[in-house]
Amino acid sequence: MNDTQSGPGNRDADTVSAHISPANGLDVLSRNEVARLRDATQSGLQALLRRCALAVLTSGSISDDARELLERYPDFDIQVLQQDRGIRLQLTNAPAQAFVDGQIIRGINELLFAVVRDIVYVSTQIGSGQFDLHDSSGITHAVFDILRNARVLRAHQDPNLVVCWGGHSISREEYDYTKLVGYQLGLRGLDICTGCGPGAMKGPMKGATIAHAKQRRRQNRYIGITEPGIIAAESPNPIVNNLVIMPDIEKRLEAFVRVGHGIVVFPGGVGTAEEILYLLGILLHPDNAAVPVPLVFTGPRVAAAYFEQIDRFLRLALGDAVAERYHIVVDDPIAVARAMVRGVDKVRNFRLDTKDAFFFNWALNVPYDFQLPFRPTHEAMAELHINRDQPRHALAAGLRRAFSGIVAGNVKEDGMRAIERRGPFEIDGDPQIMRALDALLQDFVRQQRMKLPGSVYTPCYRISCAA
């Protein structure tokens, strides 16, 4: 599978150099594709490949700083080699933790080639003008094509995929609870899809693996969907067996709601709040009033206050009717699993009645405002429209962008550098909503949901609460 040579690496970790052949999946590329992957100029793909590959090779690591891994392994390099029998990856000074007795771990091998697959496909197909990315339908078809190429979409299979959202920086009690929920979902034959990282993204998968083994269930899916800006801060957890790298956060979020048949939200921070607002904003659109998307917020008893805060904020910003689209279940994994089974059954019947696909939710209307990539510059953050003089789904879109900007300032390389250069983002809008948003974010900081426990959090934002 690979030829390896160990080395001392740097002071922090040993490294390994190796030539890797694909364990399965992608094994051929065109000469042009290989050339682009080896191109280290600004227009090439080598820097992107290096960043994503390093995140996969450090699978299981926990870091909030997207730059930390690159600084820890400054001599790491990856090159794609075109050979007569197919492609190989040349790894130089790769993290030793990805190898056992000189052999790369099979799961990491698979995820490495998934990285190559998705980077090449997005560059050659999505970026080639084949899809109209200025049109809502064109963006949805691009999302479909990326997922299909990654072999995520399965025909002839009943709906059973539960998307689990939540923070990577959660308490031990909250993490253990996510495993219990995953276990109950797995016992009922449900597969898991998450953002692929640690914490609430790993726990449900870990619980489900035990349940699936007990039920002697094979061909289980543990899908991780990420994007280049965040993968280094949330390295794929070891359980992911199908990794997909979407080109940006908006397409990542659309992929979740298109492939999932139900969604469970665990405690988290600003990234989780962004996901909640994205989904609820879509569900509040009049065109989606009849589309079933089972949604449960849940956590252990110690997290009850967290969901009370989220519920209060959502009701204040979007109106009490928003609560009709979700249920809050505290400290009851069995109730969560049963609610998902009932909800997924409704999804199945709805898809049959409307002749929609089981594997992709075509019926859901995702407005263009939710699809348009948002680049959180200081100017863009200051110009956000967060006022009540617009439909609720449009207000939710603005709030989602605010949280997206804070995520970027917290963990994404470009966002962190922008904050270092120019100071915090300025966020303004409806005074009542701004005060509620400020209180919510301050609670996240106090609960250490913005950074890993033990670190000191310096806010990357400043909220105007003027009357």
pLDDT tens-digit map of 338-389: 999 999 999 999 999 999 999 999 999 999 999 999 999 999 999 999 999 9
- Predicted confidence (pLDDT) at residue 102 exceeds the cutoff of 60: yes
Task: Determine the residue type at 457.
Answer: Y
What band does 1 get if pLDDT is binned at 50, 70 and 90?
A: low
Residue 187 pLDDT exceeds 90: yes
Round to whole Å and give the CA distance between 13 and 247: 30
Domain limits of the chain?
2-124, 149-358, 369-463
Q: Is the dihedral of CA 249, 193, 130, 24 positive or negative?
A: positive
Residue 275, number of CB atoms within 10 A of its CB: 25
Tell whether the model's pLDDT for residue 24 goes beyond 80: no
3-state SS string over the chain? CEEEEEECCCCCCCEEEEEECCCCCCCCCCHHHHHHHHCCCCCCCHHHHHHHHHHHHCCCCCCCCCCHHHHHCCCCEEEEEEECCEEEEEEEEEEHHHEECCEECHHHHHHHHHHHHHHHHHHHCHHHCCCCCCCHHHHHHHHHHHHHHCCCCCCCCCCCEEEEECCCCCCHHHHHHHHHHHHHHHHCCCEEEECCCCHHHCHHHHHHHHHHHHCCCCCCCEEEEECCCCCCCCCCCCCCCEEEECCCHHHHHHHHHHHCCEEEECCCCHHHHHHHHHHHHHHCCHHHCCCCCCEEEEECHHHHHHHHHHHHHHHHHHCHHHHHHCEEEECCHHHHHHHHHHHHHHHHHHHHHHCCCCCCCCCCCCCHHHHCCCCCCHHHHHCCCCCCCCCHHHHHHHHHHHHHHHHHHHHCHHHHHHHHHHCCEEECCCHHHHHHHHHHHHHHHHCCCCCCCCCCCCCCEEECCCC
Please check the confidence at residue 4 and state whether its pLDDT lies above 60.
no
Which one is predicted more confidently, 418 or 67?
Answer: 418
Q: How close are the terminal C-alpha atoms of the chain, in Å?
A: 64
pLDDT tens sequence across 281-332: 999 999 999 999 999 999 999 999 999 999 999 999 999 999 999 999 999 9
pTM for the predicted model, two decimal places: 0.92
pLDDT in tens, 193-245: 999 999 999 999 999 999 999 999 999 999 999 998 888 778 899 999 999 99
Of the candidates 442, 15, 26, 8, which has an alpha carbon nearest to the alpha carbon of residue 245? Answer: 26
Q: What is the pLDDT of residue 234?
A: 82
pLDDT tens per residue, range 132-173: 999 999 999 999 999 999 999 999 899 999 999 999 889 999
Higher pLDDT, 63 or 259: 259
The neighbour count for residue 14, using CB atoms within 10 Å, is 14
In order of 149, 171, 301, 332, the CA distances from 208 in angstroms are: 25, 20, 21, 16
The predicted pLDDT at position 356 comes to 95
Model confidence at 61: pLDDT above 70: no
Residues 205, 186 contacting (CB under 8 angstroms)? no
**What whole-number distance in Å separates Cα of residue 335 and Cα of residue 192?**
17
What mean pLDDT value characterizes the chain? 91
Q: Which fold has domain 149-358?
A: Rossmann fold (3.40.50)
Give the type of residue at 149. Answer: N
pLDDT-derived band of residue 83, with 50, 70 and 90 as boundaries?
confident
Query: What is the CATH superfamily name and number for domain 2-124?
Result: MoCo carrier protein-like (3.30.1850.10)
pLDDT at 5: 55
User: Up-side HSE of residue 367: CA atoms within 13 Å toward CB?
Assistant: 21
Predicted confidence (pLDDT) at residue 64 exceeds the cutoff of 70: no
Residue 290 is predicted with a pLDDT of: 96
* Residues 332, 181: Cα–Cα separation, whole Å: 8
Contact yes or no for 28/120 (Cβ under 8 A): no
Q: Is the pLDDT of residue 461 over 60?
A: yes
User: What pLDDT is attached to residue 11?
Assistant: 41
pLDDT band (50, 70, 90) for residue 68: confident
149-358 and 2-124 share a CATH fold: no
Q: Is residue 266 a contact partner of residue 174, using CB atoms and an 8 Å limit?
A: yes
Q: What's the confidence (pLDDT) of residue 2? A: 61
Buried b (16+ CB within 10 A) or exposed e, 102-112: eebbebbbbbb
pLDDT tier, 9 (very low <50, low <70, confident <90, very high otherwise)? very low
